[in-house]
Homo-oligomer: A and B are copies of this chain.
Protein backbone atom coordinates (compact mmCIF):
# COMPACT_ATOMS: atom_id res chain seq x y z
CA UNK A 1 0.00 0.00 0.00
CA UNK A 2 1.96 2.95 -1.27
CA UNK A 3 0.85 6.33 -2.49
CA UNK A 4 3.33 8.85 -3.75
CA UNK A 5 3.38 12.30 -5.21
CA UNK A 6 3.47 12.16 -8.97
CA UNK A 7 5.19 15.26 -10.38
CA UNK A 8 3.17 17.10 -12.98
CA UNK A 9 -0.17 15.75 -11.83
CA UNK A 10 -0.56 18.01 -8.81
CA UNK A 11 0.27 17.00 -5.25
CA UNK A 12 -1.30 13.91 -3.73
CA UNK A 13 -3.80 15.22 -1.14
CA UNK A 14 -2.84 12.52 1.37
CA UNK A 15 0.83 13.49 1.08
CA UNK A 16 -0.01 17.16 1.56
CA UNK A 17 -2.00 16.40 4.70
CA UNK A 18 0.90 14.21 5.84
CA UNK A 19 3.40 17.00 5.26
CA UNK A 20 1.31 19.48 7.24
CA UNK A 21 1.13 16.95 10.02
CA UNK A 22 4.90 16.49 9.97
CA UNK A 23 5.28 20.26 10.14
CA UNK A 24 3.27 20.19 13.36
CA UNK A 25 4.72 17.07 14.97
CA UNK A 26 8.42 16.69 14.14
CA UNK A 27 10.64 18.69 16.44
CA UNK A 28 9.66 21.95 18.10
CA UNK A 29 7.53 24.15 15.92
CA UNK A 30 7.59 27.14 18.28
CA UNK A 31 11.25 27.87 17.80
CA UNK A 32 11.84 26.69 14.25
CA UNK A 33 8.88 27.29 11.94
CA UNK A 34 8.81 25.53 8.59
CA UNK A 35 8.03 27.64 5.53
CA UNK A 36 5.41 26.72 2.91
CA UNK A 37 8.16 25.56 0.53
CA UNK A 38 9.51 23.23 3.19
CA UNK A 39 6.08 21.70 3.64
CA UNK A 40 5.66 21.40 -0.13
CA UNK A 41 9.03 19.65 -0.44
CA UNK A 42 7.97 17.24 2.26
CA UNK A 43 4.66 16.55 0.57
CA UNK A 44 6.52 15.64 -2.60
CA UNK A 45 8.62 13.05 -0.83
CA UNK A 46 6.32 11.40 1.69
CA UNK A 47 4.71 8.04 1.04
CA UNK A 48 1.91 6.63 3.17
CA UNK A 49 2.21 3.02 4.28
CA UNK A 50 0.04 0.65 6.27
CA UNK A 51 1.48 -2.16 8.37
CA UNK A 52 -0.14 -5.28 9.74
CA UNK A 53 0.41 -6.35 13.36
CA UNK A 54 3.77 -8.06 13.65
CA UNK A 55 5.14 -6.59 10.45
CA UNK A 56 8.74 -5.35 10.60
CA UNK A 57 9.52 -1.75 9.61
CA UNK A 58 13.25 -2.35 9.75
CA UNK A 59 15.36 -5.10 11.24
CA UNK A 60 18.46 -4.94 13.41
CA UNK A 61 21.70 -5.24 11.49
CA UNK A 62 20.23 -4.77 8.03
CA UNK A 63 20.98 -1.90 5.67
CA UNK A 64 19.20 1.36 6.48
CA UNK A 65 15.59 1.23 5.35
CA UNK A 66 14.33 4.80 5.52
CA UNK A 67 12.56 7.17 7.85
CA UNK A 68 9.23 6.22 9.44
CA UNK A 69 6.76 8.63 11.00
CA UNK A 70 3.97 7.01 12.98
CA UNK A 71 0.49 8.44 12.40
CA UNK A 72 -1.44 5.84 14.35
CA UNK A 73 -0.86 2.56 16.13
CA UNK A 74 2.08 1.35 18.14
CA UNK A 75 5.57 0.37 17.03
CA UNK A 76 7.96 -1.52 19.27
CA UNK A 77 11.73 -0.96 19.16
CA UNK A 78 13.34 -4.10 20.54
CA UNK A 79 16.54 -6.09 20.69
CA UNK A 80 16.55 -9.87 20.95
CA UNK A 81 13.48 -12.04 21.20
CA UNK A 82 11.70 -14.45 23.49
CA UNK A 83 12.97 -14.41 27.07
CA UNK A 84 15.83 -12.07 26.14
CA UNK A 85 13.71 -9.44 24.45
CA UNK A 86 14.59 -5.91 25.58
CA UNK A 87 12.23 -3.11 24.55
CA UNK A 88 13.99 0.21 24.01
CA UNK A 89 10.90 2.27 23.32
CA UNK A 90 7.34 2.19 22.10
CA UNK A 91 6.54 4.61 19.30
CA UNK A 92 3.11 6.17 19.15
CA UNK A 93 1.42 8.88 17.13
CA UNK A 94 3.87 11.59 16.16
CA UNK A 95 7.02 9.59 16.84
CA UNK A 96 9.81 9.21 14.30
CA UNK A 97 12.50 6.61 13.76
CA UNK A 98 14.88 5.16 11.21
CA UNK A 99 16.72 8.41 10.57
CA UNK A 100 19.61 7.73 12.95
CA UNK A 101 21.04 4.83 10.92
CA UNK A 102 20.87 7.06 7.86
CA UNK A 103 22.63 9.95 9.56
CA UNK A 104 25.34 7.73 11.01
CA UNK A 105 25.54 5.39 8.00
CA UNK A 106 25.31 2.28 10.12
CA UNK A 107 22.74 -0.51 10.37
CA UNK A 108 20.03 -0.02 13.01
CA UNK A 109 20.92 -1.77 16.29
CA UNK A 110 17.31 -2.73 17.00
CA UNK A 111 14.26 -4.04 15.21
CA UNK A 112 11.11 -1.94 14.72
CA UNK A 113 7.93 -3.98 14.62
CA UNK A 114 4.28 -2.97 14.39
CA UNK A 115 2.23 -4.06 17.39
CA UNK A 116 -1.20 -2.99 16.10
CA UNK A 117 -2.24 -2.07 12.69
CA UNK A 118 -0.05 0.95 12.05
CA UNK A 119 -0.38 3.87 9.65
CA UNK A 120 2.91 5.51 8.74
CA UNK A 121 4.48 8.12 6.58
CA UNK A 122 7.71 7.06 4.97
CA UNK A 123 10.75 8.81 3.52
CA UNK A 124 13.22 6.85 1.41
CA UNK A 125 16.91 7.21 2.38
CA UNK A 126 17.59 9.25 -0.73
CA UNK A 127 14.68 11.64 -0.18
CA UNK A 128 15.60 12.09 3.47
CA UNK A 129 19.16 12.89 2.55
CA UNK A 130 18.06 15.32 -0.10
CA UNK A 131 15.61 17.12 2.18
CA UNK A 132 18.04 17.39 5.09
CA UNK A 133 20.82 18.64 2.84
CA UNK A 134 18.85 21.13 0.78
CA UNK A 135 16.35 22.53 3.28
CA UNK A 136 18.11 24.22 6.18
CA UNK A 137 15.01 24.89 8.25
CA UNK A 138 14.04 21.26 8.02
CA UNK A 139 17.49 20.13 9.15
CA UNK A 140 17.26 22.53 12.06
CA UNK A 141 13.84 21.20 12.95
CA UNK A 142 15.06 17.64 12.68
CA UNK A 143 17.84 18.54 15.10
CA UNK A 144 15.28 19.32 17.79
CA UNK A 145 13.47 16.07 17.03
CA UNK A 146 16.61 13.99 17.56
CA UNK A 147 17.46 16.06 20.64
CA UNK A 148 14.05 15.29 22.11
CA UNK A 149 14.59 11.59 21.52
CA UNK A 150 17.99 11.78 23.19
CA UNK A 151 16.43 13.46 26.21
CA UNK A 152 13.78 10.78 26.42
CA UNK A 153 16.34 8.00 26.12
CA UNK A 154 18.36 9.57 28.93
CA UNK A 155 15.19 9.74 30.96
CA UNK A 156 14.69 6.00 30.57
CA UNK A 157 18.32 5.51 31.61
CA UNK A 158 17.77 7.44 34.83
CA UNK A 159 14.63 5.44 35.46
CA UNK A 160 16.47 2.15 35.14
CA UNK A 161 19.49 3.11 37.21
CA UNK A 162 17.77 3.83 40.47
CA UNK A 163 15.49 2.27 42.99
CA UNK A 164 13.46 -0.85 43.43
CA UNK A 165 11.29 -2.44 40.76
CA UNK A 166 8.27 -0.66 42.22
CA UNK A 167 9.91 2.74 41.74
CA UNK A 168 11.03 1.87 38.22
CA UNK A 169 7.56 0.70 37.31
CA UNK A 170 5.95 3.83 38.68
CA UNK A 171 8.29 6.03 36.64
CA UNK A 172 7.70 4.01 33.50
CA UNK A 173 3.94 4.25 33.89
CA UNK A 174 4.16 8.01 34.33
CA UNK A 175 6.41 8.33 31.27
CA UNK A 176 4.38 6.10 29.00
CA UNK A 177 0.90 7.31 29.91
CA UNK A 178 -0.98 9.30 27.30
CA UNK A 179 -2.97 12.49 27.99
CA UNK A 180 -5.80 10.54 29.60
CA UNK A 181 -3.52 8.54 31.89
CA UNK A 182 -3.90 5.33 29.93
CA UNK A 183 -1.11 2.90 29.07
CA UNK A 184 -1.91 0.32 26.39
CA UNK A 185 0.84 -2.21 27.01
CA UNK A 186 0.87 -5.85 27.97
CA UNK A 187 2.57 -6.68 31.25
CA UNK A 188 5.10 -8.73 29.27
CA UNK A 189 6.05 -5.60 27.32
CA UNK A 190 6.33 -3.51 30.46
CA UNK A 191 8.63 -6.18 31.86
CA UNK A 192 10.73 -6.10 28.70
CA UNK A 193 11.03 -2.31 29.02
CA UNK A 194 12.28 -2.63 32.60
CA UNK A 195 14.64 -5.54 32.16
CA UNK A 196 12.44 -7.45 34.59
CA UNK A 197 10.25 -10.58 34.36
CA UNK A 198 6.53 -10.67 33.92
CA UNK A 199 5.61 -12.27 37.26
CA UNK A 200 7.57 -9.60 39.12
CA UNK A 201 5.89 -6.81 37.18
CA UNK A 202 2.52 -8.44 37.73
CA UNK A 203 3.14 -8.48 41.48
CA UNK A 204 4.16 -4.80 41.51
CA UNK A 205 1.13 -3.79 39.45
CA UNK A 206 -1.07 -5.70 41.86
CA UNK A 207 0.39 -3.76 44.77
CA UNK A 208 -0.04 -0.42 42.98
CA UNK A 209 -3.64 -1.33 42.17
CA UNK A 210 -4.32 -2.32 45.81
CA UNK A 211 -2.90 1.03 46.88
CA UNK A 212 -5.46 2.70 44.62
CA UNK A 213 -2.78 4.26 42.40
CA UNK A 214 -3.69 2.49 39.17
CA UNK A 215 -6.38 0.34 37.62
CA UNK A 216 -5.27 -2.77 35.76
CA UNK A 217 -7.20 -4.37 32.95
CA UNK A 218 -6.53 -6.43 29.84
CA UNK A 219 -3.51 -5.00 27.99
CA UNK A 220 -4.22 -1.65 29.55
CA UNK A 221 -3.53 0.31 32.70
CA UNK A 222 -5.14 3.52 33.87
CA UNK A 223 -3.44 5.94 36.21
CA UNK A 224 -5.63 6.98 39.13
CA UNK A 225 -3.20 8.87 41.35
CA UNK A 226 -0.35 10.55 39.47
CA UNK A 227 0.94 12.31 42.59
CA UNK A 228 1.12 9.06 44.50
CA UNK A 229 3.04 7.37 41.70
CA UNK A 230 5.43 10.29 41.53
CA UNK A 231 6.10 9.93 45.24
CA UNK A 232 7.06 6.28 44.73
CA UNK A 233 9.39 7.11 41.86
Contacts and interface: CB of A to CB of B under 8 A. Distances in A.
Interface string A130-158: 00110010011011101111110111111
Nearest to A193: B161
Nearest to A147: B103
A100 B151 contact: yes
B139 A31 contact: no
A144 B103 contact: yes
The binding surface of chain A is classed by DSSP as: helix
Interface residues of A, number: 43
Interface of A: 28, 31, 79-80, 84, 86-88, 99-100, 103-106, 109-110, 132-133, 136, 139-140, 142-144, 146-151, 153-158, 160-162, 192-195
A100 B147 CA distance: 6
A56 B84 CA distance: 39
Contacts of A144: 103-104
A36 B80 CA distance: 45
